[in-house]
């Protein structure tokens, strides 16, 4: 469970209706199989010891007594197993019969969770044989032991305070107020469901939405084990559709009509981080539910779930295109409001031929279209200097003309050289002064043109640059509205690509494709043989790595050790471990050292769940010490 990962398994065993001995044998086999594969939370279907479809056989004392004996056999079988196991069984108590999920651990029966909502419609008539469980948990004298009995029991790991598990049974999650709601409010971070849900047309999709939605609503892991082949097919077919979900995402899904096991690792640390951040998730003020301790070994969980190396970028093309259109619209809507509110007569964009300024210009054009303003009131300014290459210069000019903007060229070489003379800087000294003087001169030009045209300077810097502090303070760091401020570098490329593919202008498309093919560079050092000499990612590191670090640090508060582990998995085959480690050090060093630049950012629209605005998403002292994080990195 290192880094909060707990492996869970949802099991559909082979069974025979009313053949308790056979079913017990199959359940024990699956316990062996799942624990050998490292599962710590193992869930079996509803009433699997007997079979769910026994009908009026549930009134037979022989069946019930054998099921009770079998429960003890299965519990004994877990004595040397490391895990928490949930098994469905009918339990007769004081003249009533209950549908129960029994929790087993280390050879003991820990508690008996009862089903609260019994279906009594269609082909389901559970109330013919079963009674709803008590409204609140109580204690039951069960075969010589006093056991917790009832709904919403909480099973808490002794060795891991944050691991709290609760069970509900099939129809419970379909009800208006599932028992899992109160359990989650009292700390349950994993909900398990012992289920017997039949297969009818469309039910697979509904079930998938229901379970993923419940995991999102409760910010929890949800393990759903469904009955399958072996149940009676007199009137219904059960398909063994198993699901493991985490906060709205289905991590693993069983193939229908095939009995088997699905596995995945639920990230308890991530879920608790989400709950702390989400103020609408309000935990119970008082703890009323029964807490039952269980034991598991703390060990490193072998991860089988996948982690996208580009967490900001959707994998599927259709989803990615939809996301791009949405982001462009959000950016443009933000700028539209700012332009209208200030009464600006123009927008001024410094255009370099690079990705960020290209995106800013495209967004500005979209905002002007929304306002019904002529695009010629957009002033696109190219400011060639020491590092400008012909390729980027030509792309900047062609793009501006294609979009219908007013193109201005303001060479700044002489102004910068004069400035060097004024401050006594040798132009042959290509230090940070040489670079930043150009960036600040460009910002001054843009600000003054904005005054001339009664307009606003539109910022071009993206979120990845802000995270690393890769911006000249009071240079490209400053603007009057930063449309790219919450767009990570890995997403900028896709936004420009999407615009190129959908703009309907072949000439503009050609230019945008060449921009996409141009190395990322601030172009502040003289070219070599006419080519870009200064490549950002050679200096600061690959942006796909930095965006990965940024996402998991800000979105979930993960430690450097955990981020390093995940990045090694996500970038396997792309980057060597030592490269990942090198740039992880760089990321944390720069992130803590450059907060002062983020503390005074211009306004800009938030487009995703991660943002660095000092007014909202990220409030960090400019002089916060990063020693804790750097010490952990040193130990990796």
Catalytically active residues are 46, 115, 170
Q: What angle do CA 292, 297, 299 make, to 5 degrees?
A: 135
Cite the DSSP H helix spans in 218-267: none
- At residue 195, the 3 state secondary structure works out as strand
Contact criterion met (CB below 8 Å) for 120 and 174 = no
Name the β-bridge partners of 124: 121
Run of H or E residues at 515:
helix 506-516
State both tokens at 613.
């605005």
Number of Cβ within a 10 Å radius of residue 55: 15
State both tokens at 334.
């933000």
Residues 6+ apart with CB under 8 A from 560: 584, 588, 629, 632, 633, 636
- At residue 271, the 3 state secondary structure works out as helix
Contact criterion met (CB below 8 Å) for 104 and 110 = yes
Query: Measured on CA atoms in the order 390, 396, 400, 406, is the torsion positive or negative?
Result: negative
Name the β-bridge partners of 542: none
Run of H or E residues at 630:
helix 627-634
As a whole number of angstroms, the distance between CA 428 and CA 419 comes to 14
- At residue 203, the 3 state secondary structure works out as helix
Query: Considering only CA atoms, which of 161, 499, 151 is closest in space to residue 321?
Result: 499
- At residue 476, the 3 state secondary structure works out as coil
Half-sphere exposure of 580 (CA within 13 A, CB side): 22
CA distances from 421 to 29, 198, 427, 434, 474 (A): 83, 82, 9, 12, 21
Residues 6+ apart with CB under 8 A from 491: 312, 313, 327
Contact criterion met (CB below 8 Å) for 518 and 496 = no
Q: Strand runs (DSSP E) across 154-217, as ranges? A: 154-157, 164-169, 190-195
First-residue to last-residue Cα distance in the chain: 18
């Amino acid at each position: 469970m290192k880094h909060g990962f707990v492996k869970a398994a949802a099991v559909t065993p082979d069974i025979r209706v009313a053949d308790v001995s056979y079913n017990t044998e199959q359940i024990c086999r699956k316990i062996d199989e799942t624990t050998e594969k490292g599962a710590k939370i193992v869930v079996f279907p509803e009433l699997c010891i007997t079979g769910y479809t026994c009908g009026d056989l549930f009134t037979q004392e022989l069946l019930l007594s054998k099921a009770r004996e079998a429960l003890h056999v299965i519990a004994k079988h877990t004595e040397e197993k490391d895990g928490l196991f949930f098994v469905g069984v009918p339990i007769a108590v004081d003249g009533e019969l209950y549908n129960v999920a029994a929790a087993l651990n280390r050879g003991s029966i820990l508690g008996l969770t009862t089903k609260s909502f019994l279906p009594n419609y269609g082909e389901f008539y559970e109330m013919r044989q079963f009674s709803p469980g008590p409204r609140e948990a109580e204690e039951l004298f069960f075969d010589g032991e006093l056991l917790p009995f009832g709904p919403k029991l909480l099973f808490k790991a002794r060795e891991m305070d944050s691991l709290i598990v609760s069970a509900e049974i099939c129809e419970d999650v379909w009800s208006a107020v599932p028992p899992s709601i109160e359990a989650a409010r009292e700390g349950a971070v994993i909900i398990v469901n012992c289920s017997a849900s039949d297969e009818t047309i469309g039910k697979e999709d509904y079930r998938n939405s229901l379970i993923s939605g419940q995991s999102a609503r409760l910010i929890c892991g949800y393990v759903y084990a469904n009955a399958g082949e072996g149940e009676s097919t007199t009137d219904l077919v059960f398909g063994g559709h198993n699901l493991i979900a985490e906060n709205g995402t289905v991590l693993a899904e069983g193939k229908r009509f095939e009995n088997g096991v699905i596995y995945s690792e639920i990230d308890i640390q991530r879920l608790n981080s989400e709950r702390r951040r989400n103020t609408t998730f309000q935990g119970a003020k008082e703890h009323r539910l029964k807490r039952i301790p269980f034991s598991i070994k703390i060990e490193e969980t072998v991860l089988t779930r996948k982690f996208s190396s580009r967490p900001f970028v959707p994998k599927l093309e259709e989803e990615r295109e939809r996301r791009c259109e949405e982001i462009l619209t959000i950016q443009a809507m933000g700028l539209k409001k700012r332009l209208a509110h200030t009464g600006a007569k123009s927008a001024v964009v410094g255009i370099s031929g690079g990705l960020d300024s290209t995106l800013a210009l495209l967004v500005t054009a979209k905002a002007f279209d929304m306002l019904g303003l002529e695009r010629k009131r957009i002033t696109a300014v190219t400011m060639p200097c020491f590092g400008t290459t012909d390729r980027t210069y030509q792309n900047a000019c062609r793009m501006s003309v294609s979009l219908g903007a007013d193109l201005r060229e303001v060479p700044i070489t002489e102004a910068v050289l004069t400035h060097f003379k004024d401050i006594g800087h040798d132009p042959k000294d290509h230090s940070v002064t040489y670079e930043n003087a150009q960036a600040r001169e460009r910002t001054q030009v843009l600000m003054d043109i904005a005054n001339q045209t009664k307009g606003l300077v539109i910022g071009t810097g993206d979120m990845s640059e802000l995270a690393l502090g890769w911006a000249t303070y009071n240079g490209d760091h400053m603007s009057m509205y930063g449309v790219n401020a919450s767009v990570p570098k890995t997403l900028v490329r896709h936004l420009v690509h999407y615009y190129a593919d959908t703009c309907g202008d072949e000439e503009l498309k050609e230019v945008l494709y060449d921009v996409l093919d141009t190395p990322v560079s601030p172009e502040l050092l003289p070219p070599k043989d006419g080519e870009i000499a200064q490549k950002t990612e050679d200096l600061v590191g690959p942006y796909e790595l930095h965006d990965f670090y940024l996402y998991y640090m800000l979105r979930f508060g993960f430690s450097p050790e955990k981020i390093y582990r995940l990045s090694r998995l996500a970038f396997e085959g792309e980057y060597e471990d030592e490269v990942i480690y090198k740039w992880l050090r760089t990321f944390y060093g720069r992130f803590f050292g450059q907060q002062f630049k983020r503390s005074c950012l211009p306004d800009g629209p938030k487009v995703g769940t991660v943002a660095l605005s000092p007014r909202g998403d990220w409030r960090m002292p400019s002089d916060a010490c990063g020693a804790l994080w750097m010490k952990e990195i040193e130990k990796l």
